[in-house]
Amino acid sequence: MYLETPSIDQVLDACRHVNLSTPSTICIFVAEAAELDIPELIDTLRAANIDFIGGVFPAVIGGDRKSNHAVVINAFPVMGQIYLIQGLDQADITLPDFSPILDNLDYASDIPAATALLLVDGLTRNIGTFLSEMYNCLGDSVNYLGGGAGSLSLKQKPCLFSPQGYFQDAALVAFLQLPSGLGVRHGWQRLQGPMVATQTEKTIITQLNWQTAFDVYRATVETDSGKALRADNFFDIAKGYPFGISKAGQEDIVRDPILVNEAGGLVCVGEVSENASLYILKGTVNSLIAAAAQAARDSIIVSNHEDQVHSVIVVDCISRVLFLEDHFDQELTAVQQGLGTHAVMPEGILSIGEISSYGDGLLEFFNKTMVVATLYRQP
């Protein structure tokens, strides 16, 4: 359910409405400019005995619309409890005991019978470490879907909420009792490389090919764009030139450089491993829109049974909006066209980093990528 600029009472009514058919966990995606007091919303929902999970994102999606004032509300059947993992700003991350989930999974199906919804603080330091720990624990026994919450200002503050409170440097995990088809595409193409990330520190690339990272990056970007790249205009130009981490047999994993620090290091959304093989990428409006349509088609795994579709969730990177500008509505239209007869209205988030299974079930944190998840009712 998509609500434009709702009050807390309207959100409460919508949560009750979507929860009428069967008791479920309510998932609430809030656009950051929505005029909602999140602590008050938490207290209101908690007083109404509503089980919920939510996040504040740069913007939300409803069909072919995006809004930075709206709220998207869905009800999902969930296995077990909602899990809160805190301390993602620390190197050592302790996961809860997921054995009750693993013990109750149906392993007879060709595809995982559950989908792990992962909402994370998109501006925390150790998202990659957290996802690695999740995959080490759960493997490909579930599909994974989610994204990074936070502000487009890139100023970190609380952005995730549940009955337990309002959090930053954290993740919320819910296991949806719904199988899913996932499409993960970005459409960015290699411009220069490969080059080696010879020195990194989590999300910061300090050296490329044993040289200051900004110097190497600037040489390619200025030559291609014809514009001088400086610290004060870095984001405006760099949004069109992300990095790609080479992955055999798959599209490159995109890393979005968002600023240059005083030492010439490139600060990215998401971690970059030392000695990773990198390319500088470039995209076009047409290549990004085509990729979005393909992601929608890839997400359809049950043909000719539209009645089995529970919902379609889109996790799209906010920086794709900044790149596509007036063409972004074409991307959302392309997703709907790609879904074809599976005409459940897609809803979702414009995120700071995207989370999904890909390839042979591996779990990854993406940037500048379109993730489409078609969630199916249990047969």
- Tens-place pLDDT, residues 125-154: 899 999 999 999 999 999 999 999 999 998
List, in sequence order, the alpha helices (H) in 56-126.
Answer: 99-103
Q: pLDDT (tens digit, 9 = 90+) per residue, 269-286?
A: 888 999 999 999 999 999
Closest by CA to 319, choosing from 376, 240, 244, is 240
**Inter-CA distances, 142 with 86, 88, 112, 342, Å:** 22, 22, 5, 23
Q: How far apart, in whole angstroms, are the C-alpha atoms of residue 116 and residue 15?
A: 21
Look at residue 302 and tell me whether its pLDDT is greater than 80: no
Confidence bin at 355 (pLDDT 50/70/90): very high
Q: Are strands 362-366 and 370-376 parallel, antiparallel or unpaired?
A: unpaired
pLDDT value at position 251?
A: 83
* Amino acid at the residue 178: L
Please enumerate in sequence order all residues whose Cβ is within 8 A of that of 131, keeping only pairs 6 or more positions apart, or say none: 118, 355, 363, 364, 365
Q: pLDDT (tens digit, 9 = 90+) per residue, 35-82?
A: 899 999 999 999 999 999 999 999 999 999 999 999 999 999 999 899
341-345 long-range CB contacts below 8 Å, 24 or more apart? 341/304, 341/306, 342/300, 342/306, 342/309, 342/312, 342/374, 343/306, 344/306, 344/309, 344/310, 344/311, 344/312, 345/2, 345/62, 345/63, 345/312
Task: Centre a 10 Å sphere on the Cβ of residue 137 and count the other Cβ atoms it contains.
Answer: 15
* Structure-token pair, residue 268: 């990215």
Please enumerate in sequence order all residues whose Cβ is within 8 A of that of 347, keeping only pairs 6 or more positions apart, or say none: 1, 2, 29, 60, 61, 62, 63, 72, 74, 311, 312, 313, 314
H helix or E strand, kind and range, residue 359? none
* Structure-token pair, residue 312: 């379609």
pLDDT value at position 36?
A: 95
Q: What percent of the chain has pLDDT over 90?
A: 84
pLDDT value at position 23?
A: 66
Look at residue 21 and tell me whether its pLDDT is greater than 70: no
Q: pLDDT (tens digit, 9 = 90+) per residue, 9-19?
A: 999 999 998 87
Burial classification of residue 21, based on how many CB atoms lie within 10 Å of its CB (0-12 exposed, 13-18 middle, 19 or more buried): exposed
pLDDT value at position 359?
A: 74
**Average pLDDT for the chain:** 93
The answer to whether the peptide bond before residue 194 is cis (omega within 30 degrees of 0) is yes
Q: What share of the chain is helix, strand, coil (3-state, %, to 5)?
A: 25, 35, 35
pLDDT value at position 247?
A: 82
Q: pLDDT (tens digit, 9 = 90+) per residue, 170-199?
A: 999 999 999 999 999 999 999 999 999 999
Q: pLDDT (tens digit, 9 = 90+) per residue, 231-283?
A: 999 999 999 999 999 887 778 999 999 999 999 999 998 889 999 999 999 99
Q: How far apart, in whole angstroms, are the C-alpha atoms of residue 9 and residue 151?
A: 24
Map tokens 């409803």 to a residue: 62
pLDDT value at position 343?
A: 64
* Amino acid at the residue 18: V
Q: How far apart, in whole angstroms, are the C-alpha atoms of residue 20 and residue 41?
A: 20
Look at residue 303 and tell me whether its pLDDT is greater than 70: no
pLDDT value at position 107?
A: 77
| Range scoring the smallest mean pLDDT among 7-11, 40-44, 227-231, 306-310 | 306-310
Widest distance between CA atoms in the chain: 60
Domain boundaries, the chain: 2-185+288-376, 198-282
